[in-house]
With several copies, the nearest count.
Chain A
Amino acid sequence: MSTAMNNVGRPTRLVAGTGAVAETFTGNKALMLEEPLLFERGSLDRSGVDLPPVPPVPDRLAGLGRDVVIGLPGFSEPEAVRHYTRLSRQNYAIDLGIFPLGSCTMKHNPRLNEKMARLPGFADIHPLQPQSTIQGALELINVLADWLMKLTGMPAVAMSPKAGAHGELCGMLAIRAALDAKNDPRRVVLVPESAHGTNPATAAFCGFTVENIPANARGRVDFDAMMARLGPDVAAVMITNPNTCGLFEPDLKRISDAVHAVGGYVYCDGANFNAIVGRVRPGDLGVDAMHINLHKTFSTPHGGGGPGSGPVVLSAALAPFAPIPFVRKTATGLELVEEDTAGTHAADSFGRMVAFHGQMGMFVRALSYMMSHGADGLRQVAEDAVLNANYILASLKDLYTAPFASSGPCMHEALFSDDFLDGTGLSTLDLAKGLIDEGFHPMTVYFPLVVHGAMLVEPTETESKANLDQLIGAMRHVATQMLADPDAWRTGPHLAPRRRLDETLAARKPVLAYKDSEAA
């Protein structure tokens, strides 16, 4: 028992004059609690699970039993609950406050959806049960598919992609398959500079060659540059709409027509669908494929990194190439088209993308969300999301550099650059860390790449005006103070569970797993 030293080996002391305790014995600060690693606290013979005894039968492992120590410490249930509860409190989350990460659409996650996803009828069924026993599940997928098609004005949807990037893959594979079906060898995919990294990565992943198209001064795809590059070698363009600068691409329909005219396809990155849901149907803009991040527009929770779900709506041209499995209506009910019936019902399908049928848990949440909002509510979602973003833009553009504000309103997110900090030696990162101390999650920083020191602020429609006013107030305050007294802002955050973390060190000497020798 080490009673003389605290966790970091320093004696506790009072800060002279202030009366504040700077270091405690435990390292805790009242309700901000430190938590050691599982590997430092757990033990190999502790368990938080009771199980029935193992019946004494001779094993049938053919000598392949695992006879070395694995190294998996356990906790009793009380210790485990506390470990995770304490850790959770070191996180910011949408449940705590506005989470204005541009391009991420961090909106409120309704709890009804969590409840519905846990109904045993959805959560406790196996993907390979006989189809007669999962008709309700197929119905749910089918109803959700119907909503997605109607909301986008598209004739088909592939449900199995597991996230946005996987949806992109689905769309691009459909395009590859469509080209192959025509023996068309074209392989160039045009991607705007401002595109999300998944766009070029996906195109490359399925064998396309990526070429960039620049943005114009208004933050949109440079129409002329696009037209200049279009030609018979262009397999597809990938366009984000609204784009990653938070702006609507007014030329999308014209671009689509031009792409189609040269025999290419239009992939639309639908990550920003929240801005237009219920107000614009991508199908009316000539799109051939678009993924929808259910974990953005349709509010399935982000879970600290995932899971997501990325259904892809498809044009009539691409629909025949959609992946299996999918749900088909028959005279007697619903049928899942898999390998056995693909020959009949999906002869041109490019095949299977995942082992089973996609993100059922996310489907339930998304449908619950859609039914709750309805067609009227979803339209209101887009309107309020856009209104909130423009309110932020209007309230900050006198202080923050707003590169495209002069070109008119933004859509669901407001883009700023850190040009206004020039000369202070401070940048977007310092501003972000300053906001952390104020109790906010910062905006997306340094994306899109087309803007210097980008700050992309996406409030979403689930923020109240009072919350926006508080954020705006804090953003003005921090910016003003940074201009007035730059030195005070180089080292934030100061009040978070950790001070600024050394990311360079982490990458230079990667420590990716706990080594037992590390223990104190």
Chain B
Amino acid sequence: MRYLPLSTADRSAMLATIGAASVDDLFSDVPAEAVLDGPIAGLPNHASEMAVERALVKMAGKNKTASTNPFFVGCGAYKHHVPASVDMVIQRGEFLTAYTPYQPEIAQGTLQVLFEFQTQVARLTGMEVANASMYDGSTAMTEAVFMARRITRKPKCIVSAGVHPHYTSVLNTLTRFTGDVVEAGVPSFTKGAPGDDLAHLIASIDADTSSVVVQNPNLFGHIADLTPLADACHKAGALLIVVVTEIVSLGAIKSPGEMGADIVVGEGQSLGAGLLFGGPYLGLFACREKHVRQAPGRLCGETVDASGKRGFVLTLSTREQHIRREKATSNICTNSGLIALAFSAHLTLLGEKGLRHLAALNHARAVQLADRLGRVPGVTLLNGPFFNEFTLDLGREARPVVRKLAEKGVLGGVSMGRLWPGEKSLTSGMIVAVTETATDEDFDAYEDALDEVMAK
């Protein structure tokens, strides 16, 4: 057993020191009815590295990977190229195998990274401060709604129909029990501005409204100016929460902060993480400095050591569960530290210049493909403005089209039928994401396949 260093002789010597006759003596508190005599049945015994690797390689081989097929799936998770050095950084044992930095004098590596990460996230989102990460975008959004309730002491949250339905689901799961009131609608399938309900949101704000949640770019890829909405929120004493699921977009489009957001939450997976079948991802959480004591999650702050040197520590922990227990701002403990490192390292490698280039490239490539696919007979491009994701109206149920494309080796996008099952008005929609990783050959393959499928 390669991971266990104790030898039989060690064990005997240690039992002697302890004064126990056998290891069973150490488990004497276990009630008789729960004692297991030997290894649990129905499970295999230990295996060599070779054998484990062989079995897992076989399982992995049953999946179609994004890099080996023309790939255009998005909706909250994006395939971007992650530089090889990012993986090298997160595999440094000192980062990978460290715990939460509870002893800051020997955790300055992690802490400085978190301080840099918080600064990067704040700047990217156009906010003043950011926390040290949440689980993912969807849980970050839920936390933001609760934070707004604590700040405004009002019960109601209005959620735009353009928000990713999984995110809204997660919110609903909790509010069903917490008593927060959530209003959320079904998205419009409007040509030029699918899912855009800004006017409706503004109209819905009332004195009970603690927050309005809106996603930009929205589920359909549509982008909008949120300034009027922010103004309306602030006039009513509500907070504007902006969700960003494609963080690369902020290299090209105005940040939520610039448009007046009070809290910005996002999914940071696009930078550093990779697709990973959904996790671990990275919840981003940024807000105004004045609200920070109501924020969930860990915060890293600057301080000095006994000799006056700058250093970093986890701070404002009186908000957190380990100090405040049932009065904490959130129950979160373990977060997404290592993915935050990956995000930060990727963004450091890009820099402002690289991020802007990356975003511009994503946008231009998406425009190119949108126009090509929009010309396929039977297909209509729904979007006016968009970033790197757009929605096609196929004029027929989209879900089988997605499956047929997959059979042809093209992972073409996400059908509205999967995300909004039962919503008849949306079933013909297919959401297509384009990143820097798609080649011209991929475009050709997609167009050809869609052509064929639509022709049938």
CA distance A11 to B422 in the complex (A): 73
Q: Which residue of B lies closest to A369 (CB)?
A: B3
| Stretch of B132-140, B206-214, B232-240 contacting A (4+ beta carbons < 8 Å) | B132-140
What's the nearest-Cβ distance from chain B to residue A491, in Å? 6
Question: Are A409's CB and B385's CB within 8 A?
Answer: no
Among B20-28, B147-155, B183-191, B445-453, the one that faces the other chain is B20-28
A210 to chain B, nearest CB (A): 4
A49 contacts the other chain (CB 8 A): yes
A488 at the A/B interface (Cβ < 8 Å)?
no
Taking CB atoms, residues of chain B closer than 8 Å to A339 are 165, 169, 419, 421
Beyond A360-B278, A512-B118, is A436–B105 a contact (Cβ under 8 Å)? yes
A181 at the interface (CB under 8 A from B): no
A303 and B341 alpha carbons, distance in the complex (Å): 9
Please give the distance in Å from B236's CB to the nearest CB on chain A. 24
State which of A93-101, A258-266, A418-426 sits at the interface with chain B.
A93-101
The answer to whether A442 has its CB under 8 Å from any CB of chain B is: yes
**Residue contact B357 to A377, C-beta cutoff 8 Å:** no
Is A302's CB within 8 Å of the partner chain B?
yes
Which one, A35, A50, A87, A391, contacts B18 given CB within 8 A?
A391
Among A61, A206, A356, contact of B223 (Cβ-Cβ < 8 Å): A61
Does chain B have a CB within 8 A of A304? yes
Q: Please measure, in the bound complex, the distance between the C-alpha atom of A235 and the C-alpha atom of B116, giving whole angstroms.
A: 43
- A207 interfacial by beta-carbon distance below 8 Å: yes
B25, B67, B332, B365 interface centre (most CB from chain A within 10 Å): B332
Q: If the complex has contacts A206-B177, A505-B304, are A87 and B108 also in contact, measured as CB distance less than 8 A?
A: yes
Q: Cα distance A444–B51 when bound, in Å?
A: 37
Whole-angstrom distance between the alpha carbons of A250 and B28 in the complex?
9
* Least CB distance, B346 to chain A, in whole angstroms: 8
Pick from A201, A372, A498, A501: contact of B330, CB below 8 A. A201
Instruction: Check A77/B18 contact, CB under 8 A, given A278-B40, A501-B313.
Output: no
A residues near B179, Cβ cutoff 8 Å: 207
Instruction: Please determine whether B384 and A130 come into contact, CB atoms closer than 8 angstroms.
Output: no
Are B42 and A150 in contact (CB-based, < 8 A)? yes
Which of A223-231, A459-467, A473-481 contacts its partner? A459-467
**Distance in Å: Cβ of B314 to nearest Cβ of chain A:** 8
Say if the beta carbon of B204 comes within 8 Å of chain A: no
The answer to whether A88 and B94 touch (CB under 8 A), given A45-B7, A391-B14, is: yes
CB <8 Å contact, B63 and A166: no
Judge if A104 is at the interface, Cβ distance under 8 Å. yes
Interface size on A, residues (CB 8 A): 216
Residues of B within 8 Å of A37, CB to CB, are 112, 115-116
A222 at interface by CB-CB < 8 Å: no
B5 with A54: CB separation less than 8 A: no
Q: Judging by beta carbons under 8 Å apart, are B39 and A379 in contact? A: yes
**Contact (Cβ within 8 A) B349 A80:** yes
Q: Which of B56, B320, B336, B347 has the most chain A CB atoms closer than 10 A to its own CB?
A: B56
B90 contact set on A, CB distance < 8 A: 303
Residues in B whose Cβ lies below 8 Å from that of A442 = 103
Are B85 and A92 interface neighbours, CB within 8 A? Answer: no
| CB-based contact A201/B97 at 8 Å | no
- Chain B 88-99 near chain A by CB (<8 Å), digits 1 or 0: 111111111111
- The chain B residue sitting closest to A463, CB to CB, is B5
Q: List chain B residues, Cβ under 8 A from A377.
A: 1, 3-4, 45-46
Query: Known contacts A76-B2, A302-B100, A384-B4: does B34 contact A281 (CB below 8 Å)?
Result: yes
Q: Does A47 reach chain B (CB closer than 8 Å)?
A: yes
- Beta-carbon contact of A65 and B252 below 8 Å: yes
Residue among B27, B57, B71 with most chain A CB within 10 A: B27
Asked if B303 and A501 make an inter-chain contact with CB atoms under 8 angstroms apart, the answer reads yes
| In contact, B104 and A351 (Cβ under 8 angstroms) | no
Shortest Cβ gap from A437 to chain B (Å): 9
Determine if A57 is an interface residue (Cβ-Cβ < 8 Å).
yes
Q: Within residues 455 to 513 of chain A, which ones have a CB less than 8 A from any CB in chain B?
A: 461-465, 467, 491, 493, 496-503, 505-507, 510-513
10 contacts between A and B (CB under 8 A): A39-B119, A43-B7, A50-B48, A61-B387, A124-B79, A201-B330, A357-B277, A393-B18, A395-B17, A461-B4
| Closest CB pairs A-B (n = 4) | A74-B351, A121-B60, A303-B338, A356-B278
- Given A90-B108, A305-B110, A373-B46; 20 other pairs, CB 8 A cutoff: A49-B350, A58-B367, A66-B254, A92-B106, A120-B65, A125-B65, A126-B66, A127-B278, A128-B73, A196-B322, A281-B40, A303-B337, A305-B340, A323-B173, A358-B279, A409-B26, A411-B26, A497-B105, A511-B303, A512-B300
